[in-house]
Amino acid sequence: MRATRLPRLHVITDTRETFAPLAAVEAALAAGAKLVQVRPEDHFTDRAAFDLATAIAALCDQYGALCLVNDRVHIAQAVGADGVHLGADDLPIDAARRILPAASIIGGTARDPESARAARRAGATYLGVGPVWGTTTKTGLPQPIGLEGLAAVCEAVDLPVIAIGGITAERAKLCREAGAHGVAVVGAVSGAADPQAATAELLAAVGESAERSPSRSAVGERERHGPVAGERCAQGAFATGAQPSVASRAHDRLKDSISPDAGFLRAVGEA
């Protein structure tokens, strides 16, 4: 398990209709973000989710960052992601732990000490806790738990807690003071006028360096492969082969079909 290596800032893709997830993710990675969570909307087909995840996994690999997939364990397996984040209605954490590689990061969702301890027993690597404040990036969420609720979960378990929901740079500092290991953001990056600058500000707020991630030229020869490669390197990526990876091909396909202004709509429609 990688609790000690878990980045403090988790950048989550924003796949709502008016946003461009690839552009925002690349800006965040360029600013120094070290973990991206791919969160396809519920209406995404598996093919659309796969294409999005492979493109983002390729970007993460190029920048030396971790890539997680929200909800869809089979998509994470297919693209060779570093792990998953699972909610209460997703595959149980212990079941995912049995089928994913031993080094996989598995995030669980909790709102109170009881659910946090249950996720800990099931084998979670970290906990996503919230919403701490109200948010408009996801519908149907329960009432915010506030900093008091966040602190209660942090005190209940010895796992890294990632606060989510209405996070800004200023609020990220408050979450850290309440005991959180870090924060997860959607709109704070995707909705920013300058996503790269917003990411740098968030990194500073959680105490991580905003140094620029490795450039493509420095790591361009490394490519991500699926589980059939059978072996992870020290950074959690699969071994490199001679042929172009599925991720690089999907990334090229997405580049051809998506304009930054159009977001991911065409990929969803064509899936």
- Cβ atoms 106, 73 nearer than 8 A: no
Helical pair 195-205 and 21-31, crossing angle rounded to 10 deg:
50
- Cβ atoms 267, 255 nearer than 8 A: no
Say whether 109 counts as a known binding-site residue: yes
Say whether 79 counts as a known binding-site residue: no
- Cβ atoms 214, 61 nearer than 8 A: no
> CA-based angle 99:111:83, to the nearest 5?
25
Say whether 255 counts as a known binding-site residue: no
Say whether 252 counts as a known binding-site residue: no
Six token digits for residue 197: 């600058």
Say whether 40 counts as a known binding-site residue: yes
Query: What is the Cα–Cα distance from 14 to 115, expressed in whole angstroms?
Result: 26
- Cβ atoms 170, 157 nearer than 8 A: no
Say whether 13 counts as a known binding-site residue: no
Say whether 14 counts as a known binding-site residue: no
Say whether 71 counts as a known binding-site residue: yes
Query: What is the Cα–Cα distance from 270 to 247, expressed in whole angstroms?
Result: 18
Say whether 166 counts as a known binding-site residue: yes
Residue type, 136: T
Dihedral, 239, 244, 245, 250 alpha carbons, nearest 10: 160
Say whether 37 counts as a known binding-site residue: yes
Say whether 94 counts as a known binding-site residue: no
Give the bridge partners for 183, in sequence order.
Answer: 9, 163
Say whether 62 counts as a known binding-site residue: no
Say whether 125 counts as a known binding-site residue: no
Residue type, 183: V
Say whether 138 counts as a known binding-site residue: yes
Q: In terms of Cα–Cα distance, which of 26, 74, 86 is closest to 50?
A: 74
- DSSP annotation of 232: B
Provide the annotated binding site: 37-41, 70-71, 90, 109, 135-138, 166
Residue positions forming the annotated binding site for Mg(2+): 71, 90
